[in-house]
Amino acid sequence: MIVYLSDPSLWLALLTLTSLEIVLGIDNIIFISILSSRLPKSKQKKARQIGLILAMGTRILLLFSLSFIMKLTTPLFTIIEQTISGRDIILILGGLFLIAKSTTEIHHKLEGDSIVGDDSKKQISFTQVILQILILDVVFSLDSVITAVGMTDQLTIMITAVVLSVGFMLLSSGSISDFVDKHPTIKILALSFLILIGVALLGEGLKFHIPKGYIYFAMSFSVIVEFLNMKLRSKSEKPITLRGK
C-alpha cells in the first residue's frame, strides 16, 4: 500500500485512467438519463443510481475476469473471410441494440409525446428500464475495461479508477439528466450521438474500424453548434423593450 502512495507514476496512471473512464462514461450517463426519463419523476433518480451502480459492478467483475476477456478475442468462426470472436458478437449485438433503441426513442420524442402525453411513461416499467440499462452497461463496460487494461497492469489502479469515475457520474447524473430533459433538442442530439456510437460498435465488431477521434470531433462540433443555437433562441425569446417607455 505504501508503494502505491509513494509512486508518482501510479498516481498519474490513476488520474489519467479515471479521466478516461469519466469521458467513456458520458454516453452511458446520457443513455441512462434518457431511459429513466420514461419513468415517473419519483422513480427516475433511483433508476439512474441503480443503473450506474450496475455499471460499476459490471466493470469490476470484468476486471476480475481478465483471462475471460482475453479469450473473447479468440476467433470462433469465419464469415466472408472475416473472423468473428466473442467480443465481436457482443459489439455487433450491442451496436444493433443501441441503434434500434435510440431510433425508437427519437420516434417516441417526435410522435409519442404529442399524442399520449405523460401517459406514455406508463408504457415502460421500472424493471424494463433497469434490464435495458444492464444490457448497455455490458457493452459500454467492455470498451471501458479494454481501455483500462491498455493503460495499466495494476488491478488496484483499474478498480479505483472505475469506482472514482462512477462516483463522479453518480454526483453529476442528476444535473445532466435535468439539463437533457429541459432541452428537447439536446435529447435528440444525444440520441443521434448514441446512434453514431452504435454504428461505430457495429463497425468494430465487423472489423471495420472507425477512428474515435473522428467521432469525438463530430460530436464536439455538433454540441458547439447546438449551444450556439440555444444561445440564439434564448436571445430571440427575450422581450424587446422600447426606449422611452
What is residue 208's DSSP assignment?
A: -
pLDDT, tens digit (0-9, with 9 covering 90-100), for 104-138: 888 877 776 544 444 444 457 888 888 888 877 77
Contact 62, 69 (CB under 8 A): yes
Share of the chain above pLDDT 70, in %: 80
Q: Which runs of E-coded beta strand occur in the chain?
A: 75-79, 82-85
Distances (CA, A) of 71 to 79, 93, 164: 19, 18, 28
pLDDT: which is higher, 237 or 16: 16
Q: Express each pLDDT in 186-215 by its tens digit.
A: 878 878 888 888 888 888 888 887 777 787
At 148, is the pLDDT very low, low, confident or very high (cuts 50, 70, 90)? Answer: low
For 31, 147, 190, 214, 232, the CA distances from 220, given in Å and listed in that order, are: 17, 21, 11, 10, 18
